[in-house]
Amino acid sequence: MGGGANGGPSRIVKPISVVAAVVVAILVVASFAFLHHDVASQEQSLLQSDDTQLSLVLDEAVSGLGTSLTSLGEVMAITHDSPSLFASASKSIVASAGTSIALAKSTSGRYMVVLAAGPNFTVGQPLSAPLASAATTAGSKLSSSHVFSIGARRYLGLLVTSSPGTAVVQLSPITPSTPSTFNSGPYSQLNFSLYASATATPSQLVLSTVGLRQLPGPTAHTLASVGSDKWLTVVSAKSSLVGGATTGAPWIVLAAGLLIAVLIGATSEILARRRDYAEAIAAERTVELQTAQAALIRRERLSAVGEMATVIGHELRNPLGAAINLLFLARNRLGDHDDPELDGYLDRLERETNRAASLCEDLTAYMREREAVLLPVELGVVVAEVLESTPPPPRVNVQLGNLDVELQADRAQLVQMLTNLIANAFQAMPEGGTLRVYAKEKEEVFAIAVQDSGSGIDPAVTDRLVEPFFTTKAVGTGLGLAIVKRFVDAHNGTISIENAPTGGAIFTIYLPRGNSEATP
Amino acid sequence: MSTDVKILVLVADDNEGIRDTTAAILRAVGYTVTEAPDGQVALEEIAKVTYDVVLLDVQMPVQDGISVVEALMAESPPPVIMMVSAYDFDADTRAHLNRRVFKYLKKPVPPNELIEAVGLAAAY
């Protein structure tokens, strides 16, 4: 059976496969988006929680510093601003490089430095504007100034008013451009920025783990109270807070899901193609069955026709034989006479009777169930014999190829086959032409070709030519080629009918060289 | 052919049209012809008279041509037997009857062929 299955499966991917893959892919992407969003929410929630805790820590630190500054103010009030006590009490504070501390008192609306330690305050000088401004709003709790510059350095002031009109001010240098290290402890996994303002104003940056850069990734913001001011803490995670597996889960879902989508598409494609293939095979088998059934019906019909033909052919032989005999007796009785018209009638009667006898011969020959008796036959001798009994009509040349070969065949059937083919060839050339008979010995078959130079065969009827009673000739029984086919079949051979490139038809019979099966 | 030496020919055929026209042709050329409508009559005739040539149709009622030949197998010639049939003779039949049958003729037998064949058989 042809592997084609009617043109073979299409190379184009089936729409159903594409739809299946796309639907699964859409579901996968939706799942990914949902999971990814969920993980991001969890991450943000953890970050926010950490930031809140950090701001609480900051609150505590601020509160502690506030208490120590307030204590210093109160000690100074009790000791009437003892310079020696101030110096010893503030020693630990100014030990930190660049940090200064001062006690300032409000005199006619201006805060003047009364006691000072560290590099940035001088006794008797007024507080600088940012600190003075902060002092006017400060209370008993620690409050702060804005970040401001003195020379090239940046400073932050922290202050309390220990009693009305008296402020304790600590001025600390800050270096926000230098990343703070924050590598141990519970918040080491965080990046952190602290602003001395309620918004992330770069000029108010107090400290940051990443210097002046913006914190990378998602951030959480919390406001912490420093006296009446609000400070902003901003955190972001150095690495995922929910854990690598959780962060990776949506991506794993996406990759695995897309792979599954592709597999589903491929499986669907394979199933669709297999179904198509099976359907094509089923269709092919159906056609084969229908063809076989049609052939069977035709064979049965032909068989019935053939049997009837045999009976008719046989039954006609006796009356025809009697008629031929009677014609002979009539001529014999007439003896010598001079009646050309009567002779003409008798000649025609004889021709017509012989033609009827020949038809009977064809009819019975066609249905003759006889096995081929294979014996060595000299082809050249058989062809010469046929041409002698069926001589070429006028204006027909005969060209014989090399026929000096011996083959295994049923001699009588071979004679009949060649007679029929050669007689057909002659009839195909009513205006004259060339008959060629030649043989070809091949590995497994022996080919005998009979070629005429007539008008050729209509390709539409080629297949029907070997059917009994099919004829394209005005006069003919339609049995000649049917008999050839039958005898070729008896030899387990084949017949081919084709038009020659140079015009005319070629009838070739192929007889198997081994031919042992047909040998009785 | 000499008229004083009678050559006896038996024509056995169940078809009257064939039988009597065949006999008429052979009589016209000088043979002495007897007719038989079936195989049994043919055998009775052969038992009575020694025929030179017997023409036997294969398909006949009562007893067919082949069984007539089989019955004559043991007898040494004459007569010379010729088989006539509307059907082909298959190879087995030919091989079986070969020793006893001089020639096989196919119906319808052209009169000239018939005369020639009987002439050869008579001279055999």
Closest approach of A435 to chain B, Cα-based (Å): 30
What residues have CB less than 8 Å from A380, skipping those under 6 apart?
A400, A403, A404, A405
A349 lies within 8 A of chain B by CB: no
Regarding predicted confidence, which is higher, A355 or A260?
A: A260
- On chain B, the residues whose CB falls within 8 A of the CB of A520 are 91
pLDDT number for residue A96: 80
Return the number of other C-beta atoms located less than 10 Å from residue B11's C-beta.
26
The partner residues of A222 in beta bridges, in order of sequence, read A233
pLDDT at A7 over 70: no
pLDDT number for residue A483: 84
Percent of chain A with pLDDT over 90: 25
A461 lies within 8 A of chain B by CB: no
How do residues B34-46 score in pLDDT, each as one tens digit?
999 999 999 999 9
For residue A169, the SS3 value is strand
Percent of chain B with pLDDT over 90: 44
- Please give the helix or strand (H or E) that residue B36 lies within, else none: strand B32-36
3-state helix, strand, coil in chain A (%, to 5): 50, 20, 30
- Average pLDDT for residues A302-316, to the nearest whole number? 76
For residue A221, the SS3 value is strand
pLDDT at B31 over 90: yes
- On chain A, the residues whose CB falls within 8 A of the CB of B18 are 318, 321-322, 325
| Residue bearing tokens 């002779």 | A343
Let me know: does A423 contact A477? Beta carbons within 8 Å.
Answer: no
Closest approach of A497 to chain B, Cα-based (Å): 29
How do residues A501-512 score in pLDDT, each as one tens digit?
888 999 999 998
Using 50, 70 and 90 to split pLDDT, how confident is the model at A355? confident
- Average pLDDT for residues A311-332, to the nearest whole number? 88
Assess whether the previous peptide bond of B108 is cis (omega < 30° from 0).
Answer: yes
A4 lies within 8 A of chain B by CB: no
Closest approach of A467 to chain B, Cα-based (Å): 23
Q: Tokens at residue A487, please?
A: 């005898």
Q: Return residues 296-315 of A near B (CB < 8 Å).
A: 314
Asked whether the beta carbons of residue A368 and residue B88 sit closer than 8 angstroms, the reply is yes
